[in-house]
Chains A and B, each alone.
Chain A
């Protein structure tokens, strides 16, 4: 905290629409979170359902303000692509982290927390904590 650099957030979904909509929803629900850098990386390059390593890398680079990048994913190839890019070492900005969180709830929690100027650990913890919110 206390640093004016905000944590960046990348939302990776199999669907371009889902990624973009969840990004918009999270910013909306976070209220006043315009300053938080959030980028969707949905679907394959050129359209179609799937995951694009290029879109993920570009999104991560676009939200990196030097305070780290939290990546949230939906499932399957989205998870595996981010893990493979992280394992490569030089494909994503320094301090990029795959956050284990439910996609929609985690995105809202991450954006709200990032807007306070919280660090990457706090953003990750808030997103992961969204798993604990029971609905029934």
Chain B
């Protein structure tokens, strides 16, 4: 069973990896975006970490809803509402259970990813975070490590794609050849799950 501590570890691990990878995310966002993805997400997850340290949210659902709300408030770029919706929708799907199974998490995360797709209008293959998240959710039935691998492969597979959503889509064919920053940070979020499970 996954308890509140697991979800706190997940958010903390993601905040740490976003810190570590912020420069790389911004570098990926330079040729095809506005070079702020790393700093935006870092600001967001720093706020998530600070809020979770102060707040006594004690169910998996409450922790994710709180984290999602913080991201919407603090990121300032499109990744704020997108990641915020992902976590909040996932948290709402988990309800107020004190512990959830891996299957319940997988199902809730699928609802979260659907929320992201609805909000941003993106489908798989559009060169967005969806390209890492959908394969990760599909792989969750084989465990967190499999999901991490699927997300990383999904992010890498965005390189040859042409962007069809967001600022990068203005570049048309010139967006080809660059790994998508949002898919890359989505892989960090999924890797955070695997780290939380290992801890």
Give A residues with C-beta under 8 Å from B.
44, 48, 50-54, 76-77, 80-81, 83-85, 87-88
Contact = CB atoms under 8 A, between A and B. Distances in A.
Contacts of B167: 76
Residue in A44, A81, A88 whose Cβ sees the most chain B Cβ within 10 Å: A81
B119 A80 contact: yes
Contacts of A88: 88
A60 to B, nearest CB: 15
A50 B88 CA distance: 21
Contact of A84 (B40, B76, B119): B119
Contacts of B119: 80, 83-84, 87
Given A76-B167, A87-B119, A53 B80 contact: yes
B72 A50 contact: no
A87 B115 CA distance: 10
Contacts of B82: 80
Interface of B: 36, 40, 72-73, 75-82, 84-85, 88, 115, 119-120, 166-167
Contact of B81 (A44, A54, A81): A81
Contacts of B80: 51, 53, 77, 80-81, 84
Nearest to B78: A77
Contact of A76 (B72, B78, B115): B78
Contacts of A52: 73, 76
